[in-house]
Structure 1
Amino acid sequence: MRLDDLDPSSNVDDLGRGGGGLGGGGFNLFGLLPLLLGRGLGCGTIGILAIVGVAFLLFSGGGGMLGGGSSAPTTQQQGSAQGDVPCDTAEELFACRVLKSTEQVWGEIYAQQGQTYAPPRLRFYQDNGRSGCGAAQSAMGPFYCPPDRGVYLDTGFFRELSQRFGAGGDFAQAYVVAHEVGHHIQNLTGQAEAVSRAQQSLPKAQGNAQSVRLELQADCYAGVWGKRSGRMEPGDLEEGLKAAEAIGDDTLQGSNASPESFTHGTSAQRRSWLNRGYQTGDPAQCDTFSGAI
């Protein structure tokens, strides 16, 4: 991806190692289920490290990316007591530039609709910390927290993505950030909140199915960003599709895969919806809630 000419986003904090975030929990995030089952609607995660045996799935997430969901205001956070500075490592700088590009793309999309885009805030942390959704742990993978409209990222995940899952490359990493921004869009539009409400009265398997649709929509939004960013290079899309395939529920669960427990979608579904977003460049084509997926 061609991002070197972009100044990093200013909507960033570095909470440092064990940095304190926004206190509180109280938000019914898809339930913070164990890793293989996904995390739940509240915080988007990617769903990859589950297989490693850590605690939560990655892209789980409901709430976040499209307009109008959570009414909780974004609260800026300062660095940790050690004075951590955001975007000061190669991995952080890359993520900060990706965020900047998402701000530009979604800002244009919202402007075309006569609206103003309110971007999420990217919060780096190491190992563990706090968010408006409760604990933040590197084992959870990247996630989005609707109450504080924050994308939480331990950049060590990029190494896990490449080394453990064979999904390296800059667009594979950018896909991680763009997917969480996708949850932010769902938060803005109210889609995440609608799913969360519906899940409260649905049997577990049906609730999981709603979570799958939410995750696939976030994948599609990530593809829309990639297409409209104008920064893709040959081979980039293939990197993203490989990453999407690597984190499908069926792939992560292996021979003991249980479809009723899927919360993020199969490898084929994740790959398909990321590609659909990229091929169309149109967020209106990301309606995973109408018809078959």
Structure 2
Amino acid sequence: MTFQGSGPLDTSGVSAGGGGGGGRIAMGGGLGLVVTVVALLFGVNPGDIMGGSGSTGSQQVSADQSELQERIDSCTTIEQANSDDVCRLIATKNSLNDVWPTLMNGYTDPDMKIFSGSINTGCGAASSAMGPFYCPSDETAYFDPSFFQELTRMGGSDGPLAQEYVVAHEFGHHVENLTGVLAKGQRMGNDGSVRIELQADCLAGVWAQHADDGPDAMLAPLTDDQIASVIQTAKAIGDDTIQGSGSNPEGWTHGSARQRQRWFTTGYESGDPSRCDTFATDDL
């Protein structure tokens, strides 16, 4: 359990989606398909790399979207977030939108779209193969709940806080979008991408530090084991872990396992967003 209390969940700004193009990955940089797909996990802007092609059966898309919307609508209490992945996504959004206004002037709530298969976004057509992502054009974070099963197969934790870290990372990109860091990093190629991703990991750690503060906090006091589940997940999705022994740091887009663990820990231990300035150091 990570969420506490029996109060209501706020589902405003959360909706089901689907029906985008087939979500063809536009390969580039000499990367193979598997590496390209995995490197996009927790990516920033699918419009830069996606091209809509193919089609999805409209009846199936409609059925999937309807089912997901029913699941969203059924998430009425915080308690449900401890047993249902969709409700956990929503509860984490609620918690993030409680915490970030206390840490950042001018914070605005992003939208959340929960989808299956493929979806049209402000950044282009996207596929579940991308994993979770944030689109700055429509200020929306996108999640296919089936990603959590894939994350476990990759060696990540199936613990609830590890799933919440995924959401908090994407909301970290929203914070970066609001501060202008996201646009800055996107102009810098792979090095900028790594710094963006590590900063989002750090900002996720900042949220975790504050999310269980006070008697009205949505999260119960976090345990060492829960934080370890996030560290395990950060390690599993490091570029060097994913790419294996032939990994080339010059081709990294998200940072090594050590870097991802380090920056989440920096955010968690400090609770200070100013400690997350990955653009101010050469020691990532």
Matched, 1:221 2:203: yes
**Aligned partner (choices 122, 129, 143) of residue 132 of structure 1:** 122
Quote the RMSD (CA, aligned, Å): 3.0
**Aligned partner (choices 58, 62, 74) of residue 41 of structure 2:** 58
Shift of 1:35: 11
Q: More helix by proportion, 1 or 2? A: 2
**Aligned partner (choices 227, 231, 249) of residue 239 of structure 2:** 249
2:144 maps to: 154
Unmatched 5+ stretches in structure 2: 47-62, 76-83, 213-218
Report the identity percentage.
41
1:13 maps to: 15
Q: Secondary structure at the match of 1:289?
A: helix
- Residues 37 and 262 of structure 1 are in contact (CA less than 8 Å); yes or no, is this contact kept in structure 2? no
TM superposition score normalised by structure 2: 0.78
Q: Which residue identity does 1:58 align to in structure 2?
A: L
Distance 1:161 1:148 in 2: 26
Change (3 A) 1:32 1:194: farther
Unmatched 5+ stretches in structure 1: 24-30, 39-48, 64-78, 200-206
Alignment of 1:37-76 (within 5 A): 50=34, 54=37, 57-61=40-44
Matched, 1:195 2:149: no
Alignment of 1:31-42 (within 5 A): none
1:106 maps to: 100
TM superposition score normalised by structure 1: 0.76
Q: Where has structure 1 moved over 4 Å in runs of 4 or more?
A: 31-38, 53-56
- Residues 56 and 141 of structure 1 are in contact (CA less than 8 Å); yes or no, is this contact kept in structure 2? no
2:60 maps to: none
Alignment of 1:231-250 (within 5 A): 231=219, 232-234=221-223, 235-250=225-240
Q: Which residue identity does 2:162 align to in structure 1?
A: A
Q: Give aligned pairs, total.
A: 246
Change (3 A) 1:133 1:278: same
- Residues 39 and 239 of structure 2 are in contact (CA less than 8 Å); yes or no, is this contact kept in structure 1? no
Q: Secondary structure at the match of 1:8?
A: coil
- Residues 39 and 254 of structure 2 are in contact (CA less than 8 Å); yes or no, is this contact kept in structure 1? no
Higher relative contact order (CA 8 A, sep 6+): 1
Q: Which residue identity does 2:207 align to in structure 1?
A: W
Change (3 A) 1:239 1:265: same
2:108 maps to: 118
